[in-house]
Amino acid sequence: MNLAPQVERYLPHQVLELVGTISREADRLGQRAYLVGGVVRDLLLGHPNFDLDLVVEGDALELAERLAGTTQAKLATHPRFGTAKLSCGDFTLDLATARGETYARPGALPTVTPGTLSDDLLRRDFSINAMTISLAPDDYGELVDPYQGKVDLEHGLVRVLHSRSFCDDATRILRAVRYEQRLGFSLEPETARLLERDIPMLRTISADRTRHELELILREKHPEHAIRRLGELGVLPEIHPALKGNGWIAGSFDKARQLSRAGQLPSLYLCLLVYHLSEQQNERFIERLNLPNSLADVLRHTLRLKTGLPFLNRPSIRRSEIYRFLREFRPVAIQSNVIASEFRSASLKLELFLTTLRYVKTSVDGERLRELGFPAGPELGIALRRLQTARLDGEVKTRAEEEKLALSLNPQGD
């Protein structure tokens, strides 16, 4: 089957030009280059995907260097693995020399040996990701599909290529569910059986790799589908025994999308995922995934704020008190409590802080206080804080009113 028309139709002009250059330069070097993996799958489905993966029969590094020279793309190479990455504006191109892989033990990083295109496809996760499109001029656009990935795409199936697949690399358990839910597919029955059998193999995967796969899930359009499915299959407890993929998660993720910026979503989803964990359970979750400090703090703030919500729920609380209480918390942790809190009145106060209070500034600053005759020293700080309280609580509304209040606070004034 020739997919040249799909390549022309679905790849944007800039990417097509690059594909043409790859085809020519590989041929000049006596190499054969193939598009592989996600881009082939998505071309067949008619979905856009501009992250190109290329497998090269020959030397991917040599080809990458040549391409970097002709296209001005930024080049990063990993000679040990025979891989290179070219970044060009909005899209990236990953190149790898065709290789075979063996696993010294389950979950270990693979030992890589040079191999044929067939070896390279056999080492991949699922049939739908194990197809290539040739870019060689003599058979440009030809689909290479030794494991019937196209048939599986047509039947909506995620299927592993051999029975040790999840043992070799248990991140594939998370990947299988991600693709299944993203594409609205099913796990092929034997694949589902192997997946359930090999769930304990997730323990062989490092915290960093597990976190990476979870992050990929949380970057999906509707991650709650994969989370629910992971719960249903019994995978979630392998990440943390208290994690749930229930209706509450679905509802709160949905609300998160309505209320928040796209860039904030993955960390917000993570906060919601741990929202019903105890602080101790949360610490184990942080450790299990080796979360970076900044993200770990967001999760800790989320749970700490949750226990502090009754303080905000008081009807008589002043705006300055809300401000002083909440300014210690990370905005994403506050946002997660807006979404998850059962206290309607506390939620409104959290929103008030996020939309308004945190931006309130006094017109009079320290320098102006000095001009107004304030002595340097602790009184200056106390006066600034008093002015801020007055601004937040609406006691002063204009610069003139602030200055009047400032003058009345000057210990050296009359």
Q: Which stretch binds ligand CTP (CB under 6 A): 20-28, 133-141, 169-177, 247-255?
A: 169-177
83 binds ligand CTP (CB under 6 A): no
- Minimum Å gap between C-beta 41 and ligand CTP is 6
Rg (the chain; Cα; Å):
28
Residue 284 contacts residue 299 (beta carbons within 8 Å): no
Q: Which stretch binds ligand CTP (CB under 6 A): 164-172, 253-261, 334-342, 387-395?
A: 164-172
Q: Which stretch binds ligand CTP (CB under 6 A): 122-130, 257-265, 277-285, 330-338?
A: 122-130
Closest to ligand CTP by CB, 124 or 211 = 124
Residue from 83, 127, 129, 204 binding ligand CTP (CB under 6 A): 129
State in Å, rounded, how far the first CA of the chain is from the last one: 92
The bridge status of strand 74-78 relative to strand 157-158 is unpaired
Q: Which stretch binds ligand CTP (CB under 6 A): 100-108, 124-132, 251-259, 324-332?
A: 124-132
Helix (H) or strand (E) holding 11: none
- Measured CA to CA, the distance from residue 73 to residue 105 in angstroms comes to 37
37 binds ligand CTP (CB under 6 A): yes
Residue 224 contacts residue 253 (beta carbons within 8 Å): yes
- Measured CA to CA, the distance from residue 179 to residue 220 in angstroms comes to 10
Residue from 83, 127, 134, 171 binding ligand CTP (CB under 6 A): 171
Residue 295 contacts residue 249 (beta carbons within 8 Å): no
Tokens of 326: 């909440």
The bridge status of strand 32-36 relative to strand 132-134 is antiparallel
Q: Which stretch binds ligand CTP (CB under 6 A): 71-79, 165-173, 327-335, 338-346?
A: 165-173
Q: DSSP of 288-304, one letter per residue?
A: HTT--HHHHHHHHHHHH
169 binds ligand CTP (CB under 6 A): yes
Q: Which stretch binds ligand CTP (CB under 6 A): 121-129, 259-267, 313-321, 404-412?
A: 121-129
146 binds ligand CTP (CB under 6 A): no
- Measured CA to CA, the distance from residue 203 to residue 115 in angstroms comes to 29
Binding-site size, ligand CTP (CB under 6 A): 12
Closest to ligand CTP by CB, 122 or 407 = 122
Residue from 26, 93, 98, 124 binding ligand CTP (CB under 6 A): 124
Bridge partners (DSSP) of residue 78 are 83
Question: Is residue 384 helix, strand or coil?
Answer: helix
- Minimum Å gap between C-beta 37 and ligand CTP is 3
- Minimum Å gap between C-beta 332 and ligand CTP is 24
- Measured CA to CA, the distance from residue 93 to residue 14 in angstroms comes to 13
229 binds ligand CTP (CB under 6 A): no
38 binds ligand CTP (CB under 6 A): yes
Residues near 25 by beta carbon (within 8 Å), at least 6 away in sequence: 63, 66, 67, 70
Could you give the C-alpha distances from 264 to 43, 196, 335, 355, in angstroms and in order? 29, 32, 10, 15
280 secondary structure, DSSP code: H
Bridge partners (DSSP) of residue 95 are 54, 84
- Measured CA to CA, the distance from residue 78 to residue 85 in angstroms comes to 9
Closest to ligand CTP by CB, 121 or 383 = 121
402 binds ligand CTP (CB under 6 A): no
Residue from 8, 51, 254, 371 binding ligand CTP (CB under 6 A): 51
Q: Which stretch binds ligand CTP (CB under 6 A): 166-174, 189-197, 291-299, 334-342?
A: 166-174
Residues lying near ligand CTP in the complex (CB under 6 A):
37-38, 51, 53, 124-125, 129-130, 169, 171-172, 175
